[in-house]
C-alpha cells in the first residue's frame, strides 16, 4: 500500500511538471505570434501588408527619376531657386514711346505709367518663369501635330515628351479640343502649365500652384 502511494505521488509530480512545461511553451508561442521581441531585444518584423503608407519605404521609380532630371535640365539655365517673383523692369521715362495726339487733344499732364503685372507673371519667380518658356515651346510644337486631340492622344503626346501621368491633371474634352494641366513644381517653385490641345492652334500658358501638398491651381490665365 505504501509503495502504491509513492508511485502515485511520483506520477502526480511528473504530470504536473509536464503541464508546467507545456504551459510555458504555449505562452512563448502566443507571445511570438503577437509580435513580441526576439531574444536580442529586437522587435519582430511586421508583414508589409500591415504597414501604413507612411511607414512603407518610398523610392522613386525610374519614370519619376527621369521626370525630375528633365525638370532640372530645363531649369539649369535659369536663375537659382528661391528668387522673388519676376517683375519686368519699367522703361525709362526718356525712352517711353511718344503717342500721336488727335487734332485739338492735349497731352496728359503726367506721364502714364504702365500697370503693374498681374496673374502668373506677378507670382512666379524668375526661375519658374524662365523654365516655363522651355516647356511651353516643346509642348505646343508636339500638340500642333496631333490631328485629333482627345484626352487619350494628348496624354500619350505628353508621356512621349517625358511628362508622367501623376503630373498630368484635368484632362478634359472640350468640343474638338482637350484641356489639361501640368504640375511642374520643383525646388520649392510653384510652376504649372495650363494647356489647350487644338491641333495647329494649340496653346500652353503658365499658371501658379500651391508650393507644396496636393496639386492645386491658385492663379491662371487659360489659353
pLDDT in tens, the chain (223 residues): 544 444 444 444 444 444 444 444 444 444 444 444 434 443 443 333 344 334 444 688 999 999 999 999 999 999 988 665 555 444 444 445 556 677 767 766 666 677 677 789 899 999 999 999 999 999 999 999 999 999 999 999 999 999 999 999 999 999 999 999 999 999 899 999 999 999 999 999 999 999 999 999 999 998 8
- Containing domain of residue 154, as a range? 118-223
Cα distance between residue 158 and residue 170, in whole Å = 13
Count the domains in the chain: 1
Question: Which helix (H) or strand (E) segment is 9 a member of?
Answer: helix 2-33
Tell me if 66 is assigned to some domain.
Answer: no
Helices assigned H by DSSP within 34-83:
62-75
Whether residue 55 is contained in a domain is answered as: no
**pLDDT at position 118:** 75
Q: Which residues pair with 180 in a beta bridge?
A: 195
The helix (run of H) or strand (run of E) holding residue 20 is: helix 2-33
Is 19 inside any structural domain?
no
197 in a structural domain: yes
107 inside domain: no
20 in a domain, yes or no? Answer: no
Task: Give the per-residue pLDDT at 179.
Answer: 98
Sheet holding 203-209, edge to edge: 168-174, 177-183, 191-197, 203-209, 217-220
pLDDT of residue 98: 56
Task: Please indicate, yes or no, if residue 60 is contained in any of the structural domains.
Answer: no
Within a domain: residue 204?
Answer: yes
Model confidence, pTM: 0.62
Amino acid at each position: 500500500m505504501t509503495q502504491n502511494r509513492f508511485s502515485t505521488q511520483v506520477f502526480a509530480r511528473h504530470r504536473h511538471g509536464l503541464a508546467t512545461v507545456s504551459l510555458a511553451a504555449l505562452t512563448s508561442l502566443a507571445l511570438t505570434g503577437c509580435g513580441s521581441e526576439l531574444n536580442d531585444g529586437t522587435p519582430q518584423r511586421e508583414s508589409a501588408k500591415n504597414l501604413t503608407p507612411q511607414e512603407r519605404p518610398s523610392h522613386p521609380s525610374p519614370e519619376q527619376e527621369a521626370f525630375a532630371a528633365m525638370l532640372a535640365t530645363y531649369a539649369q539655365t535659369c536663375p537659382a531657386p528661391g528668387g522673388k517673383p519676376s517683375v519686368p523692369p519699367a522703361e525709362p521715362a526718356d525712352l517711353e514711346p511718344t503717342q500721336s495726339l488727335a487734332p485739338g487733344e492735349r497731352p496728359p499732364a503726367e506721364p502714364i505709367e504702365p500697370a503693374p503685372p498681374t496673374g502668373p507673371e506677378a507670382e512666379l519667380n524668375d526661375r519658374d518663369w524662365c523654365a516655363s518658356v522651355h516647356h511651353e515651346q516643346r509642348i505646343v510644337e508636339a500638340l500642333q501635330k496631333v490631328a485629333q486631340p482627345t484626352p487619350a492622344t494628348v496624354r500619350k503626346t505628353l508621356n512621349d515628351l517625358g511628362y508622367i501621368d501623376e503630373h498630368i491633371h484635368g484632362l478634359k474634352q472640350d468640343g474638338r479640343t482637350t484641356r489639361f494641366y501640368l504640375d511642374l513644381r520643383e525646388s520649392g517653385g510653384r510652376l504649372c502649365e495650363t494647356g489647350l490641345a487644338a491641333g495647329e492652334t494649340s496653346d500652353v500658358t503658365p499658371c501658379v500652384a500651391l508650393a507644396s501638398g496636393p496639386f492645386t491651381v491658385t492663379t491662371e490665365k487659360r489659353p
